[in-house]
Amino acid sequence: MFKISELYIYPIKSLGGIKLDEAVITDRGFQYDRRWMLIDSNNRFVSQRECAKMALLKTYISVDHLTVTNTSDNSFIKIQLTPVKKDVIQVSVWDDICTGQLVNDDIDAWFTNALGKNIRLVYMPDSTSRFTEPAYSPADSITSFSDAYPFLLIGQSSLDDLNKRLTNKVPINRFRPNIVFTGGIAYQEDVMNSFTINNINFNGVKLCARCIMITIDQTDASIGKEPTKTLASYRAKNNKIYFGQNLVHSGLGTIAIGDELYVLSTHIDERFIIPQK
């Protein structure tokens, strides 16, 4: 039996996440998940890959505000959940160009000061449809400012297996999942093709190739070699390291910790199966 054990959203792309007891599913993923994004002077997304101190910016959502706290000095800023400013610009997330709504000049100044580089905050309005990769997912599947897909699934057994191989264990926040489940064997998510949670359909479409972000300690923004070094010894294929399964979905609703995950079908395509040493 598979059960949901943890749920997360990351309201501003690449900042700290929020752990939830239940999550509302919208057309483009969990409500509020990566609906905001920081951009540079070229309107390109900024992430921990080039600015590790973003890990020190933690988020919290109340009834009508998103609060960001800089844990390095305890300063904070409050952001309205619905931007007042109506100006929109074209922004880039990897190879995608989509519309972002500017939020507030004072908020931009706060982020610029916190990160030491020229930064603006943008919001993805409901009118923006950013499509997932058509080679791996249905043509009408959309996502927010995530890297490519609306959800990332990781099994607790997979993290446990990795930590058995490490001298110093790493927490799940290194991998920024949306959904964590218990039950089954390590890396069982690799082959999950179709499954349901609370009568909502999900499809595993592409294993998640990991980058330098998994080496960044989310408490102090320090950078090490693990867990990439260890993962490379047994989770590498075609010069990429994989951990977790990207998902698309159909249907709206709510899922919660304790819900059961029912597998309907598994992959048989060998490209989704990572050899283990």
Per-residue pLDDT tens over the stretch 137-159: 998 999 999 999 999 999 999 99
Amino acid at 64: D
Pair 23, 42 in one domain: no
Any domain includes 277: no
Structure-token pair, residue 9: 């959203």
Any domain includes 123: yes
Domain boundary residue, one of 101, 128, 155 = 128
Pair 103, 42 in one domain: yes
**CA 257 – CA 247 distance, rounded (Å):** 18
Report residue 267's pLDDT band, with 50, 70 and 90 as the boundaries.
Answer: confident
pTM of the entire structure? 0.96
How many CB atoms are closer than 10 A to CB 50? 11
pLDDT of residue 133: 93
Pair 178, 143 in one domain: yes
How many CB atoms are closer than 10 A to CB 36? 27
pLDDT of residue 83: 86
pLDDT digits (tens, 9 = 90+) for 105-121: 999 999 999 999 999 99
Pair 7, 40 in one domain: no
Max Cα distance, the chain (Å) = 54
Q: Are 61 and 53 in contact (CB under 8 A)?
A: no
Domain boundary residue, one of 74, 100, 128 = 128
Any domain includes 203: yes
Give the range of the structural domain holding residue 80, as residue numbers without chain letter. 34-128
Q: Are 212 and 221 in contact (CB under 8 A)?
A: no
Structure-token pair, residue 210: 């990991």
Going across the sheet that includes 253-256, the strands are 29-30, 22-26, 253-256
Provide the 8-state DSSP code for 173. Answer: G
Pair 252, 171 in one domain: yes
Asked if the model's pLDDT at residue 277 lies above 50, the reply is: no
Closest C-alpha to 81, from 107, 109, 114 = 107
pLDDT of residue 82: 87
CATH number of 227's domain: 2.40.33.20
Distances, alpha carbon 106 to alpha carbons 111, 113, 150, in Å:
9, 11, 30
Any domain includes 189: yes
Pair 153, 75 in one domain: no
Domain boundary residue, one of 104, 128, 152 = 128
Asked if the model's pLDDT at residue 67 lies above 70, the reply is: yes
Any domain includes 176: yes
Total domains present in the chain: 2
Pair 109, 207 in one domain: no
Pair 71, 116 in one domain: yes
Asked if the model's pLDDT at residue 276 lies above 60, the reply is: no
Pair 137, 84 in one domain: no
Any domain includes 23: yes
Pair 256, 169 in one domain: yes
Pair 167, 195 in one domain: yes
Pair 262, 157 in one domain: yes
**CA 224 – CA 128 distance, rounded (Å):** 37
